[in-house]
Amino acid sequence: MSTLTTSALLPTYPPAPVTFVEGDGVWLTDTDGRRYLDFAAGIAVVSVGHRHPAPLTAAHAQLDRLWHASNLFATEPAAALAVKLSDRFGGAQVFFCNSGAEANEAALKYARKATGKPGVIALEQGFHGRTMGALAATGQPAKRQAFEPLVPGARFATPNDVDSLHAAAGDDVGLILLEPVLGEGGVIPLNPEFLAAAAELAASLGALLAFDEVQTGVGRTGSFFAFEQLGVKPQLVTMAKALANGLPLGALVVADEVAGAFQPGDHGSTFGGNPVICAAAGAVVDAIDDDLLASVRENGARLAAGLEGLPHVVEVRGAGLLVGAELDVPAGPLVDAALAAGLVTLTSGPNVLRLAPPLVVGPEHVDQALGIIREVLQ
Ligand SMILES: *Cc1c(COP(=O)(O)O)cnc(C)c1O
């Protein structure tokens, strides 16, 4: 049991029954020395596993050279990481910040500056962050209500409902912002037809199409970007969670075809693109190779197949190693029971169990996790 004193922390999260003190690959260790299989990865963040040697070595080396120079001076690690992301995207420029919410704030501002239009179409159940702009585009009333009025202009379509997308259209729309798989809103994959309709609508409105790949990016779904498997290429992509394997880093990726809207003075961040963090992220991006992506697809399929047919499982959804099991019971108690049994998992909404392990899990870890889930679902 945890003896950690948390009373001086603002209670924005419920108290946790364990305190983790060490991580190693797909394993976490608590204050009592007990080991847990990590199928949460710090909310889809620790992509290549705890203390992976490549980002660890890269961050150590950079710690010994230069910690910070500010963005008044671009640093070698940030410039090199931008080139890697541009190559993966297929021609882009990158703005670095510190989180997913900040990446989406940058996208909101970029679209406003590029189009001159304030309207945003986002999705019901979507999640884009907790800051006032990102929250305004988050389609979850419970997270918004206490903080209204938010930034005006956002309206919401229903995931995978093309008619609702058209109903949300208007001359004022400068941005359509979507998660390819809704990560916080129940693990809902968007289908290629809906995404193609969104791209067409954006083009006809003179709006930019942005994919929030904060959760789906960096190999999570079995390709570096989720959009690679979906037949639609957005003009803006936001990234964060897995990019630096747990060090804070966000990014706005702007396709070359829509470059030029931001000029010096339009946007910024003191810490964004920190050289230590970008050095680690460069090693993470290099580690996401074809072999690892194939393993993500295989182990994701194994995990999804194993969840099908378990008691209380109504539907299994997701892509790669972002897997949701919709239950006919609340998911919270199941997450608690799994933790007590040595497996760290997540929810996604009230009755979806979400699994997002480090991308380096093997079939033996998947089978072990499935065994524990089967046990606690009885
Ligand atoms: C987690 C998440 C965010 C917010 O990221 P923070 O780093 O917590 O600000 C935004 N969008 C999506 C899709 C996310 O999963």
CATH of the domain at 182: 3.40.640.10
- CATH number at 373 reads 3.90.1150.10
Cα separation, 129 vs 73, in Å, equals: 28
Give domain status of residue 26, yes or no: yes
Give domain status of residue 373, yes or no: yes
Which parts of the chain are beta strand (E)?
A: 20-24, 27-30, 35-38, 92-97, 119-123, 154-157, 173-178, 181-182, 188-189, 208-212, 236-239, 250-255, 313-319, 322-327, 343-344, 346-347, 352-355
Cβ-based neighbour number of residue 47 at 10 Å? 31
Query: Separation of 134 CA from ligand 1 center, angstroms?
Result: 9
Residue 155 makes CB contacts below 8 A (sequence gap 6+) with 119, 120, 121, 122, 168, 170
Residues 234 and 256 grouped into a single domain = yes
Alpha helices in 64-155 (DSSP H): 76-89, 100-115, 132-136, 141-144
pLDDT value of residue 168: 98
183 close to ligand 1 (CB < 6 Angstrom)? yes
Alpha carbon 362 to its chain centroid, in Å, reads: 22
Give domain status of residue 312, yes or no: yes
Q: What are phi and psi of 144, to 5 degrees?
A: -95, -40
184 close to ligand 1 (CB < 6 Angstrom)? yes
Residues 209 and 259 grouped into a single domain = yes
127 close to ligand 1 (CB < 6 Angstrom)? yes
Answer with the one of 235, 268, 287 that is the final residue of a domain. 287
Answer with the one of 237, 261, 287 that is the final residue of a domain. 287
DSSP-derived secondary structure letter, 371 = H
Query: Separation of 65 CA from ligand 1 center, angstroms?
Result: 30
* Minimum-distance ligand 1 atom for the alpha carbon of 99: 7
Residue-wise pLDDT tens digits, 83-140: 999 999 999 999 999 999 999 999 999 999 999 999 999 999 999 999 999 999 999 9
Answer for the pair 86, 92: CB distance below 8 angstroms, yes or no: yes
212 close to ligand 1 (CB < 6 Angstrom)? yes
Residues 273 and 139 grouped into a single domain = yes
Q: What is the pLDDT along the chain (378 residues), one digit of tens a residue?
A: 556 888 999 999 999 999 999 999 999 999 999 999 999 999 999 999 999 999 999 999 999 999 999 999 999 999 999 999 999 999 999 999 999 999 999 999 999 999 999 999 999 999 999 999 999 999 999 999 999 999 999 999 999 999 999 999 999 999 999 999 999 999 999 999 999 999 999 999 999 999 999 999 999 999 999 999 999 999 999 999 999 999 999 999 999 999 999 999 999 999 999 999 999 999 999 999 999 999 999 999 999 999 998 999 999 999 999 999 999 999 999 999 999 999 999 999 999 999 999 999 999 999 999 999 999 998
Give domain status of residue 8, yes or no: no
Residues 205 and 274 grouped into a single domain = yes
Q: Is 302 exposed, middle or buried (0-12, 13-18, 19+ CB in 10 A)?
A: middle
243 close to ligand 1 (CB < 6 Angstrom)? no
Residues 247 and 355 grouped into a single domain = no
Q: Output the residue whose Cα is nearest ligand 1's atom 6.
A: 100
Cα separation, 51 vs 64, in Å, equals: 18
Q: What are phi and psi of 140, to 5 degrees?
A: -125, 95
3-class state of residue 252 by DSSP: strand
129 close to ligand 1 (CB < 6 Angstrom)? yes
Residues 81 and 204 grouped into a single domain = yes
Residue to probe by mutation, ligand 1, list 214, 243, 245, most atoms within 8 Å of CB: 214
Give domain status of residue 12, yes or no: no
Could you tell me the residue range of the domain that residue 358 belongs to? 20-51+290-377
Query: Separation of 102 CA from ligand 1 center, angstroms?
Result: 9
Answer with the one of 287, 314, 335 that is the final residue of a domain. 287
Q: What is the CA radius of gyration of the chain?
A: 20
pLDDT value of residue 175: 99
213 close to ligand 1 (CB < 6 Angstrom)? no
Which residue from 196, 207, 212 is spatially nearest to 123, judged by alpha carbons?
A: 212
Cα separation, 339 vs 372, in Å, equals: 10
138 close to ligand 1 (CB < 6 Angstrom)? no
Answer for the pair 228, 296: CB distance below 8 angstroms, yes or no: no
Give domain status of residue 321, yes or no: yes
Asked if the peptide bond before residue 149 counts as cis, ω within 30 degrees of 0, the response is: yes
Q: Is 96 exposed, middle or buried (0-12, 13-18, 19+ CB in 10 A)?
A: buried
Residues 208 and 60 grouped into a single domain = yes
Answer for the pair 96, 269: CB distance below 8 angstroms, yes or no: yes
Rounded to 5°, angle at Cα 332 from 327 and 335: 90
Q: Output the residue whose Cα is nearest ligand 1's atom 10.
A: 128
Q: How many domains does the chain have?
A: 2
Answer for the pair 300, 309: CB distance below 8 angstroms, yes or no: no
219 close to ligand 1 (CB < 6 Angstrom)? no
